[in-house]
Chain A
Amino acid sequence: MTAPAADLPMEEFEYDDAIVRKFAVATAFWGLIGMLVGLLAAFQLVARQLNFDVPWLTFGRLRPLHTNAVIFAFVGNAIFAGTYYSVQRLMKARLFSDKLSKFHFWGWQLIIVSAAVTFLAGITTSKEYAELEWPIDVAIAVVWIAYAINFFGTLAKRRERHLYVAVWFYIASIIAVALLHVVNSLALPVSLTKSYSVFAGVQDALVQWWYGHNAVAFFLTTPFLGLMYYFMPKAAERPVYSYRLSIVHFWGLVFLYLWAGPHHLLYTALPDWAQTLGTIFSVMLLAPSWGGMINGLLTLRGAWDKLRTDPVLKFFVAAITFYGLSTFEGPLMSLKSVNALSHYTNWTVGHAHGGALGWNGLFTFGMLYWLVPRLWNTKLHSQRMASAHFWLGLVGIGFYVMSMWVAGIAEGLMWKAFDAEGRLVYGTWSDMLPTLNPMYIVRGLGGALYITGVVLMLINLYKTIKSGSPSTTRASAAPLAARPLEAHGKWHRLLEGRPLTFTLWTTVAVIIGGALEIIPSLAIESNVPTIASVKPYTPLEVEGRDIYVSEGCYNCHSQMVRPFRAETVRYGEYSKAGEFIYDRPFQFGSRRIGPDLHRVGGKYPDFWHYNHMLDPRSTSEGSIMPRYPWLYQDALDLDLTQAKVKAFRLLGAPYSDREVEEAVAMAQAQAATIADGLVSQGLPDIRGKKIVALIAYLQRLGTDIKKAPAAAGGK
């Protein structure tokens, strides 16, 4: 802040609050939609009838819709509302372009609607939080660039010399999200609605979780830290506790975060060196994260009494506390000994929701309660309703997170339990469901409480808006050129007073971690020892794999047998990196609502799979898996089969010319073999139906390595 001398020429201008109003309303609207979808998905695990035997209402399609709606629609719109409001005031300048602002808003809403439609239609890449197909990925890149131009253009026309710490976090977010999105979305299209990742197997997994982890970092964390550094002082009417600490917080966080992604792949077929790096940097992340939490909370020093009466501060303080809890729990779960128990369980779901509902959700609600009265030039309709919302939200999160902790730890222990004779105590999946079911119910109730609070907020904000009118905020500041340089802070000005230099150094800090992990994993062949018996999928299996992806099977089933006795006894030989070299995208999964499927090939006859997919309870007592009757009715479409095989060959799969030319005929022949076998056992002829391709794929899973045991290498 430069205190302008009295004789400085002052310029008057208006802030563009209309765009902030639009994003604020979109935040509230999409928040409710995204959370309602999540609530339905939660109760589908309690009562599978809630899948209604309707393709677009099944858990596998709703879960990515829920995660994407909450992350990119609810949180995304909140980020844009908060950054556009604060960057104008911090830079004492109207946004760079009103047209770009409108393009940004409507473009983003169009992307959200496109995402909802395509997910429900089963159009997905299956890469978590990046499931959108390539045309929408291109649209995201275009809209993000518009946002970046609008943001950096505002910095260019600023009237304030120094970039405040909130702006640093916004810069890091814009740069990192662009980088993550572009690299992780690299794919070869075969049609408007289908593409294949340019990365395969463990390399695809490393890139995906580099993206997935850092989407949490640079979409769910750093923008909100920027918002915290702006809105917390505003609400508390106190300066930030320690500007020194904020410098350490920022640089520590942006440098360390990008290295931690591999902690999502511990004990998998990912090379050990990458797993170790992920763990070490995850533990180091605790320091800057807690520095930021302390800085946010202590901003309220001397004003803690306001917590009793101000609902905005209640939301902010609880949100920052959840940030601290999540950033402690994350490093804890990235320790290999803890991860061996927690990974693939509900503990991860509890951790993710502690962050999303607690940190992002509560902070966004506090920000909306602070912003909306100001944007509509009025007072909040009801402080009591806002306080009631706070307590409903807090209790809801408590129910949710604690039930998932209990369920996760119970699951992890049950998976590993052996009796005195060395047999698995819980040998079948349905043995474990009675323990988990009450926890799923409590989780759903927690979610319902949280959403009740959101409904209260919507009513409160609606009545607030009705009682006011859109305000026009005028401001006054001296132009940058007329402002004298301060005597102190010369070295800070070289960085924090120069947006371009600052952005370049931030980019370097962001890139180092990712580059040093991803480039060696792609460039050094010894990371993925090949296995001679592992061959590309047949054309019919390719189609079956696409159906597996389309139905979102990866949301409930992993394909990664970890090297634990409990897993090798339950599933079979542990998974090797060389087994996944033709998997585009990889299907390791991140959660086992059902059992791992990597060694399911050949475990059961085709007859079993036919009955299981038609009604899982006919083969697995008490199963919570939905029925898939449409796979027996929908025709198997082979129009793109040849193009798909060609695309895989282009990406390195050794298909012969004959296999490409005769891809459709080969698929039909394999389908006929499977169908004839089932017909001979008294089942209907399924040769032209989707289910035949899915059976072919499932029967292939994890079988290549069994053909030549001697050729199987290590990790």
Chain B
Amino acid sequence: MKAEILSRTEWLQLPLVAVVLFVAIFVLMLAWIVRPGASRFYAMRGRMALDDGEVRGE
């Protein structure tokens, strides 16, 4: 199937470009997620499950 799809394009570097794009986006997102300045923000988000907003009723 790959050969069939590639036979319709003259750009044979397509699979390589796709892999590079995929990996680059993944690495950039990973770097952004682990950026040092966001620790406090993530710590607050991580505690969300503990806050029910409940006023214990009858």
> Closest approach, in angstroms, between the C-beta of B35 and any C-beta of chain A?
9
Is A489 an interface residue, CB under 8 A from the partner?
Answer: yes
Query: Which residue of B33, B41, B49 is within 8 Å of A166 (Cβ)?
Result: B49
Bound Cα distance from A234 to B42, whole angstroms: 18
Q: Which residue of B lies closest to A273 (CB)?
A: B1
The answer to whether B48 touches A162, judged by C-beta atoms less than 8 angstroms apart, is yes
The answer to whether B58 touches A472, judged by C-beta atoms less than 8 angstroms apart, is yes
Contact with A along B21-58 (1 / 0, CB 8 A): 00000000110011000101111111111111111111
Bound Cα distance from A164 to B41, whole angstroms: 13
Residues of B within 8 A of A384 (CB): none
- For the A-B complex, the count of residue pairs with Cβ-Cβ distances under 8 Å equals 91
The answer to whether A239 touches B49, judged by C-beta atoms less than 8 angstroms apart, is yes
Is A75 an interface residue, CB under 8 A from the partner?
Answer: no
Bound Cα distance from A552 to B43, whole angstroms: 52
Contact with A along B5-32 (1 / 0, CB 8 A): 1000000000000000000000001100
Residues of A within 8 A of B30 (CB): 248
| CB-CB contacts below 8 Å: A678-697 with B | none
The answer to whether B34 touches A239, judged by C-beta atoms less than 8 angstroms apart, is no
Query: Which residue of A1, A12, A242, A492 is within 8 Å of B51 (Cβ)?
Result: A1
The answer to whether A237 touches B50, judged by C-beta atoms less than 8 angstroms apart, is yes
Contacts A244-B34, A248-B33 given; indicate if A164 touches B55 (C-beta within 8 A): no
Bound Cα distance from A273 to B4, whole angstroms: 12
The answer to whether B4 touches A524, judged by C-beta atoms less than 8 angstroms apart, is yes
The answer to whether A472 touches B57, judged by C-beta atoms less than 8 angstroms apart, is yes
Q: Tell which of A89, A240, A243 has the most Cβ of chain B within 10 Å.
A: A243
Contacts A162-B45, A526-B4 given; indicate if A92 touches B53 (C-beta within 8 A): yes
| CB-CB contacts below 8 Å: A155-170 with B | 159-160, 162, 164-166
Size bracket, chain B contacts: 20 to 34
The answer to whether A229 touches B49, judged by C-beta atoms less than 8 angstroms apart, is yes
Q: Tell which of B2, B34, B44 has the most Cβ of chain A within 10 Å.
A: B44
The answer to whether A1 touches B33, judged by C-beta atoms less than 8 angstroms apart, is no
Residues of B within 8 A of A237 (CB): 50
Residues of A within 8 A of B56 (CB): 473-474
The answer to whether B33 touches A247, judged by C-beta atoms less than 8 angstroms apart, is yes
Is A550 an interface residue, CB under 8 A from the partner?
Answer: no
| CB-CB contacts below 8 Å: A453-496 with B | 471-477, 486, 488-489, 492
Q: Which residue numbers of B lie inside 8 Å of A, CB to CB? A: 1-2, 4-5, 29-30, 33-34, 38, 40-58
A-B contact pairs, 21 of them (CB 8 A): A89-B53, A90-B48, A159-B53, A164-B45, A164-B48, A166-B49, A240-B46, A242-B46, A243-B43, A243-B46, A248-B30, A472-B57, A473-B54, A473-B57, A474-B55, A474-B57, A475-B53, A475-B55, A489-B38, A489-B45, A526-B4
8 tightest CB-CB pairs across the interface, nearest first?
A243-B42, A474-B57, A243-B46, A239-B46, A164-B48, A233-B49, A239-B47, A475-B53
Taking A242-B42, A472-B58, A475-B53 as known contacts, 17 extra A-B pairs with beta carbons closer than 8 A to each other, sorted by chain A number, are A1-B44, A1-B47, A1-B48, A14-B57, A86-B49, A234-B50, A239-B46, A241-B46, A243-B42, A243-B46, A248-B33, A273-B2, A472-B57, A473-B56, A474-B57, A475-B52, A488-B41
